Amino acid sequence: MNAAEIYKLSRLAIFWLSVTFGAVWVACWGVGVFIPSLITGKMPFLLQVDNPSTTAVFIADLLRSLTPILSLLVFIPINAMFMVLFERRSLALFTVRMGPNRHGFDGLAQTAADAVKLLFKEDITPRGADAFMFTLAPIIFFAPSIFGALPLLAAVTNNHDLFKIANLPTGIFYILAAASIPVVALVMAGWASNNKYSLVGGLRSAAQAISYEIPLVLSLVTMCLLAGTLDVVEIVEQQKGGIFNWNILGGGALSGYDKLAPYWLNLVDTSFDTSAMFSQFYPVPWLSSIMAFVLVICTVLLFGLYLTGACAEINRIPFDLPEAESELVSGYNTEYSGIKFAIFFLAEFTNLFVVSSIATVMFLGGGDNPIPKWILDRLPLEPISNGLGAFLSPLIKDLMFIDPATFWAAFWVIVKVYSIVFFAILVRGTLPRFRIDQLMDFGWKRLIPLALILFVVVVFARTWVVCHG
């Protein structure tokens, strides 16, 4: 049964990802490439215009500049429907159940049917509630999901021309600023609902955000310190080259480890002179090598710290105290129904995708191939890759109007992001919910001290490696 359910889950993921990113590609290509080329007379096989009018050029530039926002507006609702279904089927797999399987072929249309149901349900405002604040709360909760993700588009598309406009020199700072807004909406929703359970849920969300936003921000700030920049595109560029060539670590502290890696595979050979080979490929003092290793360990711990803080920030189990159905009857959104509840639901899964994308950009190299080059060089893949590349590259570039580098960058981003999403679902299906006192203790007595210690250690180790390496 498990093998069959895994196959169904894989089929579901392939179908919905194809629909999601196919729709995004059509929207981006139509608005960012086809229509501008058409109105400026640059479309192949059609009437060519040497000197398009100023108005046509202005409209074309305007459409290209709107492409990043349009891509998110198309992507977010479809992706949320996929993630809801993906989570429900994954949890069913973990608990040996069937999961949604009625609407559409094997349940593929279940979340689409749920979305239609929510859109047509009655929208109720409780008696005694603040109607304006009650309506404004889900909007404020959802809006940062769109605008906060804009700087990530350039990082995950290999800095594609259509998304360069969304890149900011202080991209990660902008993302963190946008990520701090949703908690205000949760407090507004809890207070405006005129419900004591909703109010308790809103206050819990505020306390939880204050507690866990500190280690989350410290983990990202520490990575920015290692990179020497707040630009997410530059941070991704510094991580290219495989897991043993992360230049982000110590400003290039590990730049020689990728050369050593093939020799590490031969350590069983007693005649192998490790010290001589090490001095040849990585001629730095032994203490600098230790510091570089410390930076690797710190980066792994910072990654775990970020994932923990991110799960708490977006109220995922085991940190879902603001909702806590068994205690607060769904907490801050207890009184919401219809489209307003759908907006809250949409934003929750979008936030999960955004924090997974941030993790991919800041810690996993973005769209870079995660397989180290020294492993690829030892595999007989060159004839296959050359033949496949010779076949696919013209097809992708000429028929789909996509740069192959952008295509493969997007492919690896999709793999990494949804792997983190699957891990978050696995955590939900495995761990129980914290008590509120355990939640506060874990944040203030464990995570924040650990984040501060890692920050100090990274500052010292990176300075040593840069100055003495």
The predicted structure's pLDDT at residue 451? 92
Share of the chain above pLDDT 90, in %: 6
d(CA 319, CA 215): 15
Q: What is the mean pLDDT of residues 15-32?
A: 86
Res 452 pLDDT > 90: yes
Question: How is 426-447 classified by DSSP, letter by letter?
Answer: HHHHHPPPPPHHHHHHIIIIII
Q: CB-based contacts of 65: which residues, under 8 Å, 6+ apart? A: 165
Res 6 pLDDT > 70: yes
Whether residue 289 contacts residue 250, with contact meaning beta carbons closer than 8 Å, is answered with no
Per-domain boundaries in the chain: 1-113, 121-468
Tokens of 70: 């349009």
Question: How is 372-416 classified by DSSP, letter by letter?
Answer: -HHHHHHSS-HHHHHHHHHHHHHIIIIIS---HHHHHHHHHHHHH
SS3 8: helix
The CA angle 166-169-174, to the nearest 5 degrees, is: 70
Q: Which of 156-165, 247-256, 448-457 has the highest mean pLDDT?
A: 448-457
- In 3D space, the residue among 168, 169, 126, 132 whose CA is nearest the CA of residue 150 turns out to be 168
Share of the chain above pLDDT 70, in %: 78
Least confident range of 213-217, 283-287, 374-378: 283-287
Preceding peptide of 318 cis, ω within 30°:
yes
Tokens of 249: 């670590």
Q: What is the mean pLDDT of residues 48-60?
A: 74
How many other C-beta atoms are found inside a 10 Å radius of the C-beta of residue 456? 10
The CA angle 68-182-448, to the nearest 5 degrees, is: 110
The predicted model scores a pTM of 0.84
d(CA 421, CA 356): 7
Secondary-structure breakdown of the chain: helix, strand, coil percentages, each rounded to the nearest 5: 75, 0, 25
d(CA 148, CA 379): 40
Whether residue 9 contacts residue 93, with contact meaning beta carbons closer than 8 Å, is answered with yes
- In 3D space, the residue among 36, 144, 20, 102 whose CA is nearest the CA of residue 421 turns out to be 20
Tokens of 96: 């040996």
The predicted structure's pLDDT at residue 377? 65
The predicted structure's pLDDT at residue 263? 46
Least confident range of 232-236, 249-253, 331-335, 424-428: 249-253
The predicted structure's pLDDT at residue 281? 45
Confidence of residue 1 (pLDDT cuts 50, 70, 90): low
d(CA 241, CA 423): 25
Q: Which of 109-113, 259-263, 415-419, 461-465 has the highest mean pLDDT?
A: 415-419
- Residue type, position 77, single letter: P
The predicted structure's pLDDT at residue 283? 47
The predicted structure's pLDDT at residue 10? 85
Confidence of residue 453 (pLDDT cuts 50, 70, 90): very high
SS3 144: helix
SS (H, E, C) 259-302: HHHHHHCCCCCCCCCHHHHHHHHCCCCHHHHHHHHHHHHHHHHH
SS3 57: helix
- In 3D space, the residue among 257, 250, 243 whose CA is nearest the CA of residue 227 turns out to be 250
Q: pLDDT tens, 108-167?
A: 878 888 888 888 887 788 888 888 888 888 888 888 888 888 888 888 887 888 888 888
Mean pLDDT of the chain: 77
d(CA 1, CA 285): 56
The predicted structure's pLDDT at residue 385? 47
The predicted structure's pLDDT at residue 398? 46
The predicted structure's pLDDT at residue 450? 92
Q: CB-based contacts of 341: which residues, under 8 Å, 6+ apart? A: 118, 138, 333
The dihedral region occupied by 104, where left means phi > 0, alpha psi between -120 and 50, and beta the remainder, is left
d(CA 249, CA 458): 9
d(CA 26, CA 70): 11
Q: How far is CA 263 from the centre of its chain?
A: 35
Res 250 pLDDT > 50: no
Q: How far is CA 56 from CA 68, 134, 148, 163, in A?
A: 20, 43, 31, 21
Q: pLDDT tens, 325-363?
A: 666 677 777 888 888 888 888 888 888 899 999 998 888
Q: pLDDT tens, 258-287?
A: 444 444 444 444 444 545 544 544 444 566
Confidence of residue 399 (pLDDT cuts 50, 70, 90): very low
- C-alpha Rg value of the chain to the nearest Å: 25
Q: Which of 258-267, 397-406, 460-469 has the highest mean pLDDT?
A: 460-469
d(CA 219, CA 98): 39
Question: How is 156-222 classified by DSSP, letter by letter?
Answer: HTTS-GGGGGG--TTHHHHHHHHHTSHHHHHHHHHHHTT-HHHHHHHHHHHHHHHHHHHHHHHHHHH
Whether residue 439 contacts residue 321, with contact meaning beta carbons closer than 8 Å, is answered with yes
d(CA 271, CA 355): 48
